[in-house]
Structure 1
Amino acid sequence: MTKTKKPEFRPDEFVVYPAHGVGKIVSIEEQEIAGFKLELFVIHFEKDKMTLRVPTHKATEVGMRQLSTPDIVNKALDTLKGKARVKRAMWSRRAQEYEQKINSGDLLSIAEVVRDLHRTDDQREQSYSERQLYEAALERLTREVAAVSGADEAQAQKTVDSVLTSRAA
Structure 2
Amino acid sequence: MVKVELVRGDITEAPVDAVVNAANSSLLGGGGVDGAIHRAGGPEILDACRDLRASRYGRGLPTGQAVATTAGRLPARWVIHTVGPVWSRTEDRSDLLVSCYRNSLAVADELGARTVAFPAISAGVYRWPIEDAARIAVETVKVTSTEVAEVTFVLFDDRAYEAFAATVS
Fold match (TM-score > 0.5): no
Of structures 1 and 2, the one scoring higher in RCO (CA 8 A, sep 6+) is 2
More helix by share: 1
Structure with bigger gyration radius: 1
